[in-house]
Structure 1
Amino acid sequence: MPRWKLQKKLKTLLFISSLLLGTTLTFKVTAAEEITFYYGSFAQTVDVESLKIFAENGTVNPDLRTIFNIVKPNEVVKNKFQQALVTPIDINASLLSRLLNTDEGDRILSELSTLIEMQGGTSGKSVLRGSMIQAAASDDGFTILNFLQTLPRNMQINVRETLRWAQQASFLVKATENLVKTTENLALKVSDSQPITDFSQLANLGETGSVSFVRDRWNLTDNERKRRFYVEVYRPQLSASEEIPVIVFSHGLGERPETYQKMGELLASHGFLVVMPQHPGSDTEYKKDLAEGFTRNIFSLNEFINRPLDLSYTLDELEKRNETEFDGQLNLEKVGAFGHSFGGYTALAVAGATLDLQHLQKDCDSSASRFNQAILLQCRALKLQQPIPKLKDERISAVLVYNPVNASIFGPEGLANVKVPVFVGAGTYDLTTPFVFEQVRSFPWLVNAPESYLLIQQGDSHVPLAKLGAGSYFTATSLLKLTLPHDQLRHYYAAPSIVAFAQVYLADQENYRVYLHPSYITYLSEQEEFKAFLITEESAPSLVESFQQQVEGFRNL
């Protein structure tokens, strides 16, 4: 994708995010339905009715014109603001109430309340919570305009702090673009230095392999932890003389093993036994419990400990069954730990990464953290009881993670304890675990991994937007005006890398290493608008230099 196009799309994406985060939720209405903006000694009051008229037909009343004369938005921005005022956000009021009363919701409200003050200088945190819930319960659903009309008292918006947020957000868009370009240049530099290979003659590893397999489910009980969970098992049907390499996979927050069925089937068809344990304190059932009011948290605090232990307990179960059910074919001395999102944290922890709570505390206190949704999850670890038990499993010999939650909770010292090969996947449209904060930042910290890979995919989000529902798809394509990659693009880039990584580092098949070369991903990108770039540990020093330049720029704001 051309650089200017990527920059435009990233700016649009983050603009809407910051608009909804900063502007949307920082208005406050008086009994007279007025909003007051202040910047030093300057103050300007705007009637909510003026915003309603602007949303309906674009008319700018004098009070709103005064604000526009100061902010000077262009027509595109004004149009987006006009649409955003009345675009419904599909969320159930009861669920929103529960979410805003979690640790993560409370942290979001605390951040937002730094931008607003009730008259008299008090925090608007509790008012924000109540008004958001009331707006969501209205007949038209949650819109900015509905939210403004529910606020019960006068409020003041700190324009100076709001503009600082906007300036930081704008800088992060530019930093994202710069780091994507850095990764691209590093990948192309390596690609150009390698002998020409006719990649068109290689088999497509993203296609189903030749090995038949069966799918099964085990129900396990860990009596020591009083924990019950099931495991999805994808078992290849190999001859009795063949050794079977093993992969244990950890699902994301609010997900379940079945979400990753396609990956399990692909790897099994290439000869790998794949086991996917359920994580009961952070899966779909726990998410359902939150929605129905049976829990007050998005996930159980103990999941930071239990998730890695679930992987180890699953491997223990495989050892028990190896002789009786697998005729001793399983290679349990060289196991791969794969994971997505929170599962990425899990896989890295079981591979040896250790929690660094001092580093985490520093990040949780940083102003940059407000733009990183993943920090909401990680900061909860500060409540863990000490000492934290050992989570490393010596059987793990390779790690593959996509969109991992990892940078703040592990830090440089924690990730330096990973001493096995690592593959990291990231996407440029990922606002849940932004690669600037979570993957590009942390990749160079894998200093003791003998070999490491970082794959950046343009246009890739944390999960496919279509999966989030029609509302999210409409917002992305109509309101944000984003061009989205086709549904199979993630599989197109990721699948060959996943299979090849498993073949090289778990099955000792060196002939698959060609798929892990930056030039192969460059070849795959040739006919695609949305490109992908692969770099290795050799490029990490240059990535660090580029990242540090972005950090210094952010600190100077």
Structure 2
Amino acid sequence: MVFNRTGLVVAALLGSVASGVLASPASALERLVLRLPFLETSITINLSDDQSAEELIRSSPDLKDLQEASGGKLLGVLEQVFLAPLPVETKALLEGSTGQPLLEQALFAAASLVELEGVEVDPSGRMLTDALIRAEQAGQANVLGFLKQMPGEQASVDLSRVATIANRLKFNMEEGVALAKKGEAEASNPNLFQLRDRGWIRSEQMVSVNHRPDPLRVLVLQPKVDSNRRLAVISHGLWDDPESFEGWAEFLAAAGYTVLLPDHPGSDFQQQKAMLAGDRPPPGPEELRLRPLDISALLDAVQNQSLLGGQGLITDDVAVIGHSWGATTSLQMAGGTPVDRKLKSRCADVMDSERNISWVLQCSWLSGIDQAGISDARVKAVVAISPPLRLLFAPESADGLSAKILLVSGTRDWVVPSRPEAILPMRTSGASRFGHRLVLVEGADHFTLRSFAGEQQPAVVGPMLLAWLNDQLGVQGAVGFSTGGWGDDRLRLVDVTGQL
């Protein structure tokens, strides 16, 4: 996942206040109450007809006290929070997203922080859009103007719930930190990085497919010398693009692999830009089906010689590598069949001890789950880096996969934390008995391991990717996963499979 932080964070903040309400309010919101149970106090902000930070302070005794206690510094903080203009994309984003599963799940998660008095729940986001429109019409396109257009009498934000969420995230990362620290880091082989000196050939292709209206854009990296005729596909994550993983492809291409990096048009960076402009809704559940079809279509094109024809590429045994949603896609390609059992039983529980940010995406997939069992028997090796998967796949599916899985997770991944999304699935499924492995990268977050084109420092995970592919596809290369030497001196890569 990649986020346009300004637009989406503002939407989330507004959603945390607005997600529980209906359109056409009978009365405007009068008070915003911030509850601080750990200090046994609360702060009431009276909204009324105030237009400025000074008026907010004058009309709210609690703010007056804080203004005095802060030596006058509170005024500037309030101006930044309440009066800063909202990003111009906010209204368009919400107008184009109302009623879509991804927005509904985001609002559902945000609503756990807020209590609204005297209103019914509306998960569609329609009220959020209406309030923004009214604020804009009133000449107050800022947070204060938005709040004043909300229905009801009082909104209460319990800040102790923020601490609960933070503690849950900490808990869901701690086991990964401990396992990585306890384990032995894989040794590095500096000579492997010299492979990049052999170079590669980069091109961009357009491939027509039956399941999408427009051709797929595909980056192709091929070895300059000594091709092993093997094929690898790299699938990007939500609101990302192939260029974020070109460093991975460079390393593999220099080592002899032909690498395809498709642009998944329903959930890529361009889709995000269109969504923020209000031109397209968020990615829908159908993308869970379409992404694997993108990859199978590319393999078909290579197999029938319409893509990279005449090169003798082997299409019976290929590798798929993915990051975030792309990693989920790679697991589907290997035969991981999505099921709705956990989605139905756990998505509604905002206090679930394993809940994390990636559940917003996972829970939005529910309505498309019965169409998402898209596998491809040609896939024989998979590297899944930070996949959202806890709610999607049944543990018993581990023994029926067509490919051996290398699951990779960063110990500081706050988007897809390692305990619920990597450690527990590996442990409960007994996946190691079937040859699957789990590597933890100490200190890596969700975005650390991406690698862009032409970076001076080679990809941290480059040797590991090459080693796994060589072993699983039977390629005699410079490194193998079982023989070691695929680590990195910058970050500790630890195979923790034996500790599970």
TM-score under structure 2 length normalisation? 0.75
Cα offset for 1:51?
11
Residue 372 of structure 1 contacts residue 432 of structure 1 at CA under 8 Å; is this kept in 2? yes
- Give 2:178's aligned residue: 182
Alignment of 1:499-538 (within 5 A): 499-506=466-473, 508-509=475-476, 512-513=479-480, 520-521=487-488, 524-525=489-490, 531-538=491-498
- Give 1:252's aligned residue: 237
Q: 1:132 to 1:213 in 2, by over 3 A?
A: same
- Give 2:323's aligned residue: 340
Cα offset for 1:285?
4.3
1:109 correspondence with 2:107 = yes
1:496-550 per-residue CA deviation (whole Å, 9 max, x = no partner) reads 32233333333533752379859945xx24xxxxx544224212x2xxxxxxxxx
1:378 aligns to what SS in structure 2?
A: helix
Residue type at the aligned position of 1:382: L
Q: 1:228 to 1:173 in 2, by over 3 A?
A: closer
Residue type at the aligned position of 1:255: D
How many residue pairs align between the two structures?
A: 473
- Rounded Cα–Cα distance in structure 1 between residues aligned with 2:137 and 2:333: 43
Residue 36 of structure 1 contacts residue 155 of structure 1 at CA under 8 Å; is this kept in 2? no
Residue 429 of structure 1 contacts residue 462 of structure 1 at CA under 8 Å; is this kept in 2? no
- Give 1:367's aligned residue: 350
Q: 1:226 to 1:447 in 2, by over 3 A?
A: farther
Residue type at the aligned position of 1:538: G
Residue type at the aligned position of 2:338: L
- Give 2:161's aligned residue: 165
Cα offset for 1:355?
0.6
1:325 correspondence with 2:313 = no
Alignment of 1:52-71 (within 5 A): 62-64=61-63
Cα offset for 1:408?
1.3
Q: Using CA pairs under 8 Å that are at least 6 residues apart, name the structure with larger relative contact order, 1 or 2.
A: 2
Q: 1:357 to 1:31 in 2, by over 3 A?
A: closer
Q: 1:63 to 1:424 in 2, by over 3 A?
A: same
Cα offset for 1:176?
3.9
Cα offset for 1:354?
0.9
- Rounded Cα–Cα distance in structure 2 between residues aligned with 1:252 and 1:116: 30
Which structure shows the higher helix fraction? 1
- Give 2:70's aligned residue: none
- Rounded Cα–Cα distance in structure 2 between residues aligned with 1:509 and 1:433: 34
- Rounded Cα–Cα distance in structure 2 between residues aligned with 1:371 and 1:176: 9
- Rounded Cα–Cα distance in structure 2 between residues aligned with 1:390 and 1:226: 22
Q: 1:327 to 1:532 in 2, by over 3 A?
A: closer
1:318 aligns to what SS in structure 2?
A: helix
- Give 2:400's aligned residue: 417
Alignment of 1:464-475 (within 5 A): none
Residue type at the aligned position of 2:383: L
Cα offset for 1:246?
1.2
- Rounded Cα–Cα distance in structure 2 between residues aligned with 1:223 and 1:459: 38
Q: 1:309 to 1:153 in 2, by over 3 A?
A: closer
Q: 1:512 to 1:221 in 2, by over 3 A?
A: same
Deviating more after overlay: 207-216 vs 487-496: 487-496
Residue 200 of structure 2 contacts residue 222 of structure 2 at CA under 8 Å; is this kept in 1? yes
1:465-506 per-residue CA deviation (whole Å, 9 max, x = no partner) reads 9x9xxxxxxxxxxxxxxxxxxx97996532332233333333
Structure 1 unaligned runs (5+)?
1-15, 69-76, 468-486, 526-530, 542-557
- Give 2:208's aligned residue: 221
- Give 1:393's aligned residue: 376
1:313 alignment partner, one of 297, 300, 311: 297
Residue 252 of structure 1 contacts residue 342 of structure 1 at CA under 8 Å; is this kept in 2? yes
1:222 aligns to what SS in structure 2?
A: coil
- Rounded Cα–Cα distance in structure 1 between residues aligned with 2:482 and 2:76: 45
Residue 340 of structure 2 contacts residue 369 of structure 2 at CA under 8 Å; is this kept in 1? no
1:26-70 per-residue CA deviation (whole Å, 9 max, x = no partner) reads 899975843357899x998532489998899999964358999xx
Provide the identity percentage.
21
TM-score under structure 1 length normalisation? 0.68
1:390-432 per-residue CA deviation (whole Å, 9 max, x = no partner) reads 5222221211122222221114234453353322333355444
- Give 1:46's aligned residue: 45
Cα offset for 1:252?
2.0
Residue 16 of structure 2 contacts residue 107 of structure 2 at CA under 8 Å; is this kept in 1? no
- Give 1:358's aligned residue: 341
> Could you say what the CA RMSD is over the residues aligned between the two structures, in angstroms?
4.8
1:152-182 per-residue CA deviation (whole Å, 9 max, x = no partner) reads 44433456xx356335313214314522432
Q: 1:172 to 1:137 in 2, by over 3 A?
A: farther
1:493 alignment partner, one of 460, 475, 481: 460
- Give 2:5's aligned residue: none
- Give 1:279's aligned residue: 264
Q: 1:146 to 1:79 in 2, by over 3 A?
A: same
Structure 2 unaligned runs (5+)?
1-8, 68-73
